Structure 1
């Protein structure tokens, strides 16, 4: 992978992992009023969507269980979770492993055209940049939820 793009992934994922790992267990599954999801969900969502964007999950990638799409895919929520839900710790480990695989994406693959444009993006490089943007957005959500829980739920 292009060194600059990988640096963006490495930095964003590093901050995401640092923050995800620091969330106390009792906060991970709290869903504050006004939020659709929990910190636990956001961690799994970033993992799952990045796997979809960069590795064609679930059709082309077997690195994650197929049920992750039903648990963490777009439009899902913890209230609908059924069956085996991975722990935050397991998701964090999978995020670390995924970053290693991201680095191994060949440079020439970045300029490949997508079979069908996605959100106006036409190349794999543009999609990879979208993955970094997406992860940054969810890092902000993780921060907001944690701060709200600390200021309201924990103090009560």
Structure 2
């Protein structure tokens, strides 16, 4: 079997960057939605969490509060939120915990096929857990870019 430590190292690196960025954001800032944006920083963080669990383990394998689907799934937005919204402290703890849980479940399974191939529209197909894990890292990076844009929009709006 091929050494796959580099994948887990990249996972740790990317998640570490996400958690480090989160440390510089306060509760109020996390909820600001600048003009021309649909979501806020809190939504992006919850979306990263939810999508990684969902994409790797399917709907039955998500190990986050059930309300997260209504809060953070694709096509949701804070304007429609109801009920309890997780604090940044809660999201940070979950972002820190998630990698250990995923590593435990998939450490030696990255070459295994997914229960069903995952179609990315007309862009391609993901066949294995390893391919899906690396896709979720790309997805996390995209949302970190969104968070960076939100922060710039928030800063520009406060001038």
* Partner SS state of residue 95, structure 2: helix
Root-mean-square deviation (Å): 1.6
Q: Which residue number corresponds to residue 19 of structure 1?
A: 21
Where do 5+ consecutive residues of structure 1 fail to align? none
- Describe the superposition over 1:111-143 as per-residue Cα deviations: whole angstroms up to 9, x where unpaired: 111232212111111101101000011011111
Conservation of the 8 A alpha-carbon contact between 2:30 and 2:41: yes
What is the number of equivalent residue pairs in this alignment? Answer: 152
Conservation of the 8 A alpha-carbon contact between 1:21 and 1:89: no
Conservation of the 8 A alpha-carbon contact between 1:114 and 1:123: yes
Where do 5+ consecutive residues of structure 2 fail to align? none
Alignment of structure 1 residues 53-72 onto 2, 5 Å: 53-56=55-58, 58-61=59-62, 63-72=63-72
TM-score by length of 1: 0.90
Alignment of structure 1 residues 107-146 onto 2, 5 Å: 107-118=107-118, 119=120, 120-146=125-151
Q: Which residue number corresponds to residue 41 of structure 1?
A: 43
Could you tell me how far apart the structure 2 residues matched to 1:145 and 1:106 are?
Answer: 33
Conservation of the 8 A alpha-carbon contact between 1:121 and 1:127: yes
Give the 4+ runs in structure 1 shifted more than 4 A: none
Higher relative contact order (CA 8 A, sep 6+): 1
Tell which deviates more after alignment, 125-134 or 15-24: 15-24
Could you tell me how far apart the structure 2 residues matched to 1:104 and 1:128 are?
Answer: 13
- Describe the superposition over 1:67-114 as per-residue Cα deviations: whole angstroms up to 9, x where unpaired: 101110111110111111111110110110102212323443111112
Could you tell me how far apart the structure 2 residues matched to 1:106 and 1:127 are?
Answer: 11
